Structure 1
Amino acid sequence: MSRLVVENLTKIFTLGFFSRKRIEAVKNVSFEVKEGEIVSLVGESGSGKTTTAKMILRLIPPTSGRIIFEGKDIWKDLKDHESIKDFRRKVHAVFQDPFASYNPFYPVERTLWQAINLLEKKPSNKKEALELIKESLVRVGIDPKDVLGKYPHQISGGQKQRIMIARCWILRPLLIVADEPTSMIDASSRGGIIQLLEELRKEQGTSIIFITHDLGLAYYVSDNIFVMKDGEIVERGHPDKVVLEPTHEYSKVLVESIPKLYRKLEGL
């Protein structure tokens, strides 16, 4: 069953004082995400993948097209505060820059308290809420003593991303949009972040849209891959089909850019 359906999604930005210059950032993009499925949007900077993600997250409106989540058009059917709040509970993001996800003036656990405030069934008291926060941190491989009470500049980028995934664990969203979640953290932390997302998928049936410029990484994590260039999907399908039998010239370039050692390990 499809959890998310994107139909003919288009986004046009107008630039200049008189709005004469138009940039078509996303052009008639369509795809589906099934329950418990990981799909990747792959492309270089400026390909339209992040703009697509922002529309799915209800951060910027589309110029045309529809985004159907759990049977509802998120831009036409969600009109009141409660329906939008429910959407925020069910659809969550892990952004590229872990440093920008935190307010430098608050302890890092504030983002977890905010998640608890979004829950329909909240803990009955502050002690239970704190236990839930600690449990979420343990689930993502963090000792609560290492981060509770600390400020963003006092913890690593990898820890920041793990805390964002702990937030997802508390909220149990139906869909996570992960926009380059490993690109700004050290190599030793990247595998752990991917593993945590995979565990959320397996344990909770969470669907994941994984956004990356790295086709090799997408091949490793995805059930389906959608290659984007200049705002359009130019290649789509199972990872084996996209990587082993690419038809579009841009896809072939991406395949050639996969590190040779990685390709050897995967048998590509």
Structure 2
Amino acid sequence: MSNKLLEVKDLEKVFHLGGRFFGSKLKAVNKVNFDLDAEKPEILTFAGETGSGKTTVARMILGLETPTSGEVIYKGRNVTHIKKRKELLEYMKEVQPIFQNPFETFNPLKKVDSYLFEMAENYEIAKTKEEKQKGVEESLNSVGLTLKEIKGRYPNELSGGQLQRVSVARALVTRPSLLIADEPVSMVDASLRMSIVNLFAELKTKYNVSVLYITHDLATAYYISDRIAIMLRGDVVEFGDIDKVMLSPLHPYTQILLESVPQPDPEGTWKEDIKLSSLEVKEFSRLGCKFYERCPFAMKICKDVEPPYVFKDGREVKCHLYSEEIKNTEKSEETVN
């Protein structure tokens, strides 16, 4: 059996804009690779601006988006193209999503507690009514709630923070090994964000649950993450230990992002928010570095040649500044001069 909980290999997603045959191609995710250890739970963050591809990565892992190429392997089993309902249920039992807006997750006309009991029913978590109730109560207790608090209540009768905790509790009913949380605190009041963030850290420690945390907020990412992947227009440009990346960033893009959030602050967000609709497709399909137009260190090679991944100072960075090709070119120029 594989010692990897999750392996993502060369994952790509290409969208066709304006028609498959006559439109343009937009590579939303470009050869993303990472893995999670089965024995050591962790919180791995994918951070980036709007349109960077981080949510598309999450959706492909969840089976909500079909990869153009690449593989998703869970506990040694290829789950990239699951078609049988039984196999999908088995996978989703262990890999559960938590979405951005809790008020959109729950039907306003449906009682909140019914969702948790339906999870236990659909995934055959318990056989008897008593077992189901016990499982639901335990899930709610793990997020700081009780069944008594939410029983018979509708979504509008709970606060945003409470409702998002119920979202997490619902995911925990199946006793998953991996939670994929897509912007889970962006729709919650600022005063409640850290309580939700702390919850993920507690779940990792107490229940051995790994978390794939998708966010645009570097502050909360730094607070709870073990590792972080910085995404830019489909590329992971820097990936490694959270302290190394956040305290001594190598990629110019990461450096600029960190300048906009100088200190860990739950209120801090990036000043620049790029909408996918406002981006030129040519910048996604550029052969060279996606950051070429904005990079203060841009070189001629950056425009047309895709940067290689370089392992430096304990992390991966996709940048020509650290490539051997640049070093060899500089040496050659020095020899000529």
What TM-score do you get using the length of structure 2 for normalisation? 0.73
Name the larger-Rg structure.
2
* Among 42, 48, 51, the residue aligned to 1:46: 51
Listed as ranges, the matches of 1:171-210 within 5 Å are: 171-210=174-213
**Structure 1 residues not aligned, in runs of 5+:** 264-268
For the pair 1:69 / 2:74, whether they are aligned, the reply is yes
Shift of the 187–123 alpha-carbon distance from structure 1 to 2, 3 Å rule, reads farther
Q: Is the 8 A contact 2:223 2:264 kept in 1?
A: no
1:155-208 alpha-carbon deviations (Å, 9 max, x no partner)? 111111100111233211011101111111012221221222122212221111
Paired with 1:143 and 1:121, the residues of 2 have a C-alpha distance of: 19
Which SS does the other structure have where 1:31 is aligned?
Answer: strand
Shift of the 261–204 alpha-carbon distance from structure 1 to 2, 3 Å rule, reads closer
RMSD: 1.8
Supply the AA of the counterpart residue of 1:169: L
Supply the AA of the counterpart residue of 2:79: I
Which SS does the other structure have where 1:220 is aligned?
Answer: helix
Paired with 1:221 and 1:68, the residues of 2 have a C-alpha distance of: 25
Paired with 1:207 and 1:260, the residues of 2 have a C-alpha distance of: 26
* Among 93, 97, 100, the residue aligned to 1:96: 100
Shift of the 133–63 alpha-carbon distance from structure 1 to 2, 3 Å rule, reads same
Work out which structure has the larger RCO, using CA pairs closer than 8 Å and 6 or more positions apart in sequence: 1
Listed as ranges, the matches of 1:141-156 within 5 Å are: 141-156=144-159
For the pair 1:16 / 2:21, whether they are aligned, the reply is no
Query: After the TM superposition, which of the residue ranges 126-135 and 39-48 deviates more from structure 2?
Result: 126-135
Supply the AA of the counterpart residue of 2:57: T
Paired with 1:110 and 1:101, the residues of 2 have a C-alpha distance of: 13
Shift of 1:247: 1.3
Shift of 1:118: 3.7
Q: Is the 8 A contact 1:9 1:26 kept in 2?
A: yes
Q: Is the 8 A contact 2:225 2:242 kept in 1?
A: yes
| TM superposition outliers: structure 1 runs of 4+ over 4 Å | none
Q: Is the 8 A contact 1:6 1:68 kept in 2?
A: yes
Q: Is the 8 A contact 2:8 2:34 kept in 1?
A: yes
Q: Is the 8 A contact 1:26 1:231 kept in 2?
A: yes
**Structure 2 residues not aligned, in runs of 5+:** 267-337
Which SS does the other structure have where 1:171 is aligned?
Answer: coil
For the pair 1:257 / 2:260, whether they are aligned, the reply is yes
* Residue of structure 2 in register with 1:266 after alignment: none
Paired with 1:3 and 1:135, the residues of 2 have a C-alpha distance of: 24
Shift of 1:147: 1.8
Shift of the 248–261 alpha-carbon distance from structure 1 to 2, 3 Å rule, reads closer
* Residue of structure 1 in register with 2:7 after alignment: 5
Shift of 1:261: 6.2
Shift of 1:39: 0.5
Question: Number of residue pairs matched?
Answer: 261
Paired with 2:213 and 2:71, the residues of 1 have a C-alpha distance of: 20
Q: Is the 8 A contact 2:8 2:32 kept in 1?
A: yes
Q: Is the 8 A contact 1:54 1:60 kept in 2?
A: yes
Shift of 1:216: 2.3
Which SS does the other structure have where 2:103 is aligned?
Answer: coil
Which SS does the other structure have where 1:40 is aligned?
Answer: strand
* Residue of structure 1 in register with 2:141 after alignment: 138
1:196-231 alpha-carbon deviations (Å, 9 max, x no partner)? 212221222111101111222212211111000000
Q: Is the 8 A contact 1:89 1:118 kept in 2?
A: no
* Residue of structure 2 in register with 1:129 after alignment: 132
Query: After the TM superposition, which of the residue ranges 150-159 and 176-185 deviates more from structure 2?
Result: 150-159
Paired with 1:260 and 1:8, the residues of 2 have a C-alpha distance of: 34
Shift of 1:259: 4.4
Q: Is the 8 A contact 1:225 1:237 kept in 2?
A: yes
Query: After the TM superposition, which of the residue ranges 37-46 and 15-24 deviates more from structure 2?
Result: 15-24
Aligned-residue sequence identity (percent) comes to 41
Supply the AA of the counterpart residue of 1:150: R
Q: Is the 8 A contact 2:45 2:221 kept in 1?
A: yes
